[in-house]
Amino acid sequence: MANISVFLCKCLGEIDHIIDFGLLREELSKNSSVALISTVDSLCLETDIEKTISLIKETDADKVLIAACSILSRGNLVVDCLVKAGVERHKIALVDIREGCAWIHGDNPEDASKKAKDLINMGIAALQHKEMSDDMSVAVNPSALIIGAGPAGLAAAISVAEMGYEVSILERSKTPGGMLKLISRCYPDNEDASNKLDPYIREIENNPLITFYPQSKITSIEGDTGNFTVHFSSQEKDSSIQSGVIIIATGAKIFFPTGLYGYGEIKNVITQMEFERQILNESLETKKTVFIQCVGARDRKRPYCSTICCPISLKNASRIAEDVPGASVFILHRGIMTPGNTLEKYYRDALASGVQFIRFEEEQPPRIIGSDHVEFVEVYDAITGITRKIETDLVVLSTPLIPNNDNARLAQMLGIEVDRYGFFSEVYPMHPLETKTDGIFICGSARWPVSSDHSIIQGKAAAMKAVSYLKQSKIAASTLSRVPGPKAGHACVNVDACTGCGNCVAVCPFDACQLEKLEGRYVSTVNLMKCKACGNCVPLCPNGSIQIPEHNYRMVGGMIQRAF
């Protein structure tokens, strides 16, 4: 049946001066599926694409084969134009005879022409077997749910509300603010933490679009992209919230270095958080202080750098050096991490105010000397080679941020992943705030240890991403693609052939397949909102019941047969 219109693009001479279009036209005219052959100068130019579209509309043939450039260059645009003009995507085949043929076989036009002929035949075979996937649309609940009311969560909530959408915030403690409530000053501008936090807290109290739920614990989560239902209990009451998107801003917790450097055994060996607490309740008394960096971080168990501990030590060490007359302050480190445009100056200011820096190596950590309270710290200075014995009355240990204990449970409820350390995983490579489930975002220290400044930035960014979902009244599953453009399709199960073995359920990288009971037996069903058409399930199916219609086995078989 003659149902294919073929358009050969000359690409303004780039293709047709190597490839013999006469040969192509001759071969195509012998093919009974070809209804129309048309040569165009340059399909991506407006005049030519319009002419092509009108030709397609005039003819009875419903399938289109474009022989032009690669799908990764202009070919994509041509296909999109045709789809916009009403041609169904699965009825279009794009054959690359430029990057994949004319341009790499320029020294052999005869072989290039034969190859172009073969590639076009493969395209025709593909068109004869390509089918259309199912799609579905869901109405989006135009509200957001933020889990966590630290700086990241607060910034996210306010940003979403600013754009006119309702927001609910679930927080496990009694008041908002997260870890920022526990510190006195923020680096690098040494601003009071409460001053920084107040405008955010006032905004969430006053803004009618924002509802704050303190002392909440999430019990279960249902639903999918665009329609989540979160069940939680707050102050002895059980409740639930519906939302279109979820932003996770649950932060992290401090690592307590029990057993390291005499922590817990020797008096006056404390963590940075306890130092902050002593400042806040004005019980800090020290004249000779030693800060030790990388305690429980950048070692074999936790090889990462927690980003914030060096600036925090600079902040606290400078404070003592400046405020306490005659103070002696040391920072023992394995490399001071101060990236960006403000932290280098912060470091030099600390140096200028009299803080002394000694570098030690991981294999030779400093030694705490003292029986019931700390008296000296002995450290081997790796740069000078001299072992120094520093008199001290307080040792402050910089420990990393580690994931909350609850992360794994929350991740499982949401259907997202945690990384090897336990922080929530982002989607590689270009979706730093998104997770495996579309519509669920991560920001702040829940994702990776960051300062409050960066938490706020990430919260705002996550809010932006979230609103791009909320502003659509309906979301089509085919638009939830991880790559530029729509999805290639969706996996489709032939329920008559499916034996319910569960291979596809096990292997799907997006947990899109589920076994369901159908007339007394189990068959696989595909959740179209989750399926990304990667095709991982297809080779694993023992009898080929699951296929991607736009790339099914008949199409591949047909292409292989016509390849040479």
Interface residues with another protein (CB under 8 A)? 70-73, 96, 98-100, 103-108, 111-112, 114-115, 118-119, 122, 427-429, 436, 482-483, 488, 507, 509-510, 532-536, 538-540, 544, 548, 551, 553, 556-557, 559-561, 563-564
Identify which of residues 354 and 415 has a Cβ nearer to another protein in the complex: 415
**Nearest-angstrom CA–CA distance, 115 and 564:** 8
List the structure tokens of 184.
């006195």
Identify which of residues 118 and 299 has a Cβ nearer to another protein in the complex: 118
Q: Report the nearest approach of another protein to the CB of residue 468 (Å).
A: 19
> Which ranges of 358-502 does DSSP label H, i.e. alpha helix?
407-414, 452-470
Q: Report the nearest approach of another protein to the CB of residue 41 (Å).
A: 20
Q: Report the nearest approach of another protein to the CB of residue 535 (Å).
A: 3
Identify which of residues 66 and 122 has a Cβ nearer to another protein in the complex: 122
Q: Report the nearest approach of another protein to the CB of residue 70 (Å).
A: 5
Q: Report the nearest approach of another protein to the CB of residue 304 (Å).
A: 16
Identify which of residues 11 and 170 has a Cβ nearer to another protein in the complex: 11
Identify which of residues 208 and 429 has a Cβ nearer to another protein in the complex: 429
Identify which of residues 118 and 349 has a Cβ nearer to another protein in the complex: 118
- Other Cβ atoms less than 10 A from the Cβ of 119: the count is 19
SS3 labels along 213-261: ECCEEEEEEEEECCEEEEEEEECCEEEEEEECEEEECCCEEECCCCCCC
**C-alpha count within 13 angstroms, C-beta hemisphere, residue 366:** 31
What is the rounded (10 degree) CA torsion for 295, 300, 302, 308?
Answer: 50
Identify which of residues 251 and 489 has a Cβ nearer to another protein in the complex: 489
493-500, Cβ contacts within 8 angstroms, sequence gap of 24 or more: 493/523, 493/524, 493/525, 493/526, 493/545, 493/546, 494/545, 494/546, 494/547, 495/523, 495/545, 497/543, 497/544, 497/545, 498/523, 498/524, 498/545, 498/546, 499/542, 499/543, 499/545, 500/524
Q: Report the nearest approach of another protein to the CB of residue 127 (Å).
A: 14
Q: Report the nearest approach of another protein to the CB of residue 409 (Å).
A: 21
Which helix (H) or strand (E) covers residue 269, if one does?
Answer: strand 269-271
Q: Report the nearest approach of another protein to the CB of residue 30 (Å).
A: 20
- Count Cβ neighbours within 10 Å for each residue of 497-519 and write b for 16 or more, e otherwise: ebeebebbbeebebebbbbeeee
Identify which of residues 199 and 485 has a Cβ nearer to another protein in the complex: 485
Identify which of residues 241 and 546 has a Cβ nearer to another protein in the complex: 546
**Residue 380 backbone dihedrals phi, psi, to 5 degrees:** -90, 110
Closest CA to 293 of 342, 358, 369: 358
Q: For residues 515 and 522, is the Cβ–Cβ distance under 8 A?
A: yes
Q: For residues 138 and 474, is the Cβ–Cβ distance under 8 A?
A: yes
Q: Report the nearest approach of another protein to the CB of residue 549 (Å).
A: 12
